[in-house]
Structure 1
Amino acid sequence: MTRNFDALVLGAGIIGVSVAVHLQARGRAVALIDRRTPGEETSHGNGGLIQREGVYPYAFPRSLGALLKYAGNRAPDVRYHASALPRVAPFLARYWGHSAPARHAAIARHYATLIEHSVTEHRTLARMAGVADMIRPSGWIKAFRLAATQDRELRVSEEWRRDYGVAYEAYDAAGLRAIEPHLSGLVGALRYTDADTVGDPGALVRAYAAYFEKLGGTLIKGDAMSLDPGWRVDTDVGPVQGSAAVVAMGPWAGDLGRRLGYRLPLAVKRGYHMHYAAQPGARLAHPVLDADNGFLLAPMARGIRVTTGAEFALRDAPRTPAQVAAVEPLAREIFPLGGPVDNEAWMGARPCTPDMMPIIGPAPSHSRLWFACGHAHHGLTLGPVTGRLIAEMITGAEPFVDPAPYAMTRF
C-alpha cells in the first residue's frame, strides 16, 4: 500500500533536513528519505563553521604563480587526480571563468543575500529544536605565518566590512597568544566575530531531524534514486508518494537529475579530516585556519579535527588521503597535537557549481519538483537559509530572499 505525503524530501544532510523541518513547520506532511541516517554523509565532516563572513564563495585561483603551484600537485591545500582531469576539465574551465574578479564580485552580491541570514536562521532553528547550546557564538580565526598573507587578507576583510558589514578583529602575534595561548609560529590573525561554530556538525543535523519528527514528520530509509514522476519513491516501508518532491542529495543530486532529463553542472571537491587529541594542558578555543597552507584545526566533541582543503577527483574514485599526511606535520608546528583518535581519515564530497552559487528552486520541465543542492563549502552555513527559502516557495509564501539568482535556468 502506498503512503501519501504532501512532500518528499530526498536527502537527509543539512540541506534536506532543513527543508523538511521548514515544510513540516508550515503544516505540510513531509517524508524525509535517505539510505542512511541524517547527517552521515557530507554534512558530518565539515569544519563546523557557520560563515557569516563568507560573502565571496571560494574562487578558482587565477594568478600564474598559484596555477604553477597547484600544477605540481603537491600543495597542501589543493590536490587533484590526473586521471579525472579529462572528465572535470570542462567544469574547471567554467569555474575559472566565473572566478574572474568582476564576475566573482557580481556573484558575491547575490551570494551575500543568503550568507547574511546564515547565523540568524541557524540560531532560530536550533532554538526551536531545543539545542541552542550546540551552536557557539565564538567566531573563528584565520591565522597567518607570513606577514604578506596577513596584509593581503586584512585588505580583503576591510573591503568585506565596507561592502557587506562583515565584522572582524585583527591581532598581532601577542594579541593572538592572548586568546589562543597554545598556538605558535604565527605572526597574527583575523577573527570573524559574527560567525558561529558547531562542535559536532553531524549531531546538529540529527538534532534538527529529531525536531522534524517531533513536529510530526516521517523519517524513512529508502532509495531516493528510485524517484519517478508522480512523485513516487521505493522505501524500506514500501512505496511512498508525494504531491511535491525536493532533491537535496548533495553530490548525488546530479545522478537523479540525469534520470529526469536534467544536466546539472555539478562537480565535487573532496575533503578529508582526522581527529587528534591535544597534548596535556593544551586547549583550542576557536576553529583556526592556517591561511598559508589551507587546513583547519577545529575543536570538536571527538577531539581536534584537522580538515583538508580540496581534492579534485571523481566522486566515487578511491580515497587518497595524502593531504591529511601532508598537513599533519604543518598542524603540529602551530598547535601541540597528541595522537590520532581516528583509525583512518574520513572523506566527503562537496557538491559544487561552476558559478559557486547553489541551485535552489523549481525544476523547469516538471511540475512540483524542486532542487536544493550545490552548496560547495557552505552547506552547513546555508542549510536553514535554503530550507526556509524552498519551503516559502513551495507553500506560496513571499520568499524572504529573492530566489532568482539561484534558479536552475541560469545554466
Structure 2
Amino acid sequence: MLKTLLDSQASKEEILKVLEDTHAYDLAKMFSELSEDEQEKIFSFLDSDKVAEILAYLNPVDAADLFQTLSIEEQKEVVEELEPDDAADIINELPDEDRVELIKVLDQDEDVLSLINYEEFTAGSYMTNEFLVVKESDDVKDATKKVIKDADFASSIQTIFVVDDNNHYVGQVTLKDLIKSRSPKVISEIMEIEPTVLVTDEVDTLVKHMKHYGGYDLAVLDETGTLLGAITMDDILDIYKEEAIEDLEKLSALPDTDFNENLFKSAFHRLPWLIILMLLSLPIAFVTSQFEEILASVVILALFQPLILDSGGDVASQTLAVTLISLTQKDSKPAKNGFKEIISGMMSGFVMGLLAFVATVAVGYIMGLDHIYAISFVVGGALFITVALAPILGFLVPYILKLLKLDPAVASGPFITTMIDIISVIVYFGLATLVLGGVING
C-alpha cells in the first residue's frame, strides 16, 4: 500500500492517514517493498515513537540499516522509545564507530546500556530490564498500587516478580492472583517459586526451559541470585522461531538463510557445503568401480540400485528426525526410543525386501532374464540389510554427538543420506558378487 501511494505521488496527508491507521507490524512488512530513499521519506513523516514501533518488528539487521539513516539526535530519541532489549539488538548490529558515537549521547541511566554488553545468544542478550517487581513483605494492596503505577514502564504485566530486601529473586505472582487477593495478606503468601535461568545461559537452555515449564515470563538471575531481568513471551516466541530455522538449516546442510542476500553471494555462500557433500559422495563412485565385473555381467543390477539407495536414505532420515525430537524432550528416553527405531527398521526392511524380491521376479520374467531368483534374492536381501542398518546410523550419529556435548542437529539429512548410500552400495554389490559371482561363473 505504501509503495502504491508513493508511486502515485500521494500527498503527505494521505500517507500519514495510512501510517496512523496501520499496525506497526504491517508497516514493517510494507517497508520491505520500498527502496532506501522511499524508506527514508516515510521515516521523515513519523515521530520517534512510531519509528520505534516499526523498527521493533523488523529483523535487527534490517532495523539497524534503517536506524543509520537517522541523525544522531533522532537515534537517541528512538532508543528512548524502544524497549531496552529491542534497542540492544539494533545497537549491537551497528558498525563499531556508529555504536560508540550513539552510546556517548545516550543518558548514562538508559536501561539499554546494561544490556548491550551481554554475549549474543545468551539469556542476557534477550532479556528486558523493564519488568514489574514487588517485595515479598509487601501487602497485596500496596503491591497492587505499585503495579498500577509501574505498568506503563513494563514490557509485560502478566507476571510480577518478587524479591527480598537484597533484590534476590524469591518467587513470582501472576497478575490474576494479585488482583484476586485481598488485604490483609502479604505477597509471600500468594507467590510461587518458579524455575529461573542464569544471565549466561545459552539460547538452547532457554528454549528447553520454556518448553518444559511454560509460563508467560522468565526470571533471569546472576550467580548470586540477584534478579537482573526478564524474558517475555514475545521474546520466547522469537527465540523458538530462530532455533527452528537454525535446526532446519543444519538438517539441510545450509548456511544461514538471508532472503535479502545477493543472488551470486548466496550461491557462493552455499558452495562450500555443496562441495563438502560432493566430496563425501566420491566414495560411492569409488566403491561402485570396484564391482565393475559383476555390474557388467548382470546389467539388471543397475536398474534396482536407486531403489536400494533411496530406501535406506529415507529410513535413516526418518530415524534422525525421531532421534532429534527425542533428544530435546525432558522426560524421553533416547536410547529406548532408538532401540525401538532399530527394531522397526528391521521389520520394515523385511517387508520391503520381500516386496522387492517379488517385484524383481516379475520384472525378470517379463524381461526373460536368467538366474531370476538369484538376482531377486540379491535385490531383496540388499534392501532388507540396508533398511535394517539405516536406523542404526540415523540414531547413533546424533546420539553420540549429544553425548560429546555437540549439537546433534549438525547430523544433517544430506550427511546421513550420503553415509547410507556408501553402505548401501557396498552391501548391494558385495551381496551380488557373493551370490551371483558363483552362479554366473558356474
- Relative to its length, the structure with more helix (as a share) is 2
TM over 0.5: no
Q: Which has the higher contact order (CA 8 A, sep 6+)?
A: 1
Tell which structure's C-alpha radius of gyration is larger.
Answer: 2
TM-score by length of 1: 0.20
- Relative to its length, the structure with more strand (as a share) is 1
TM-score by length of 2: 0.19
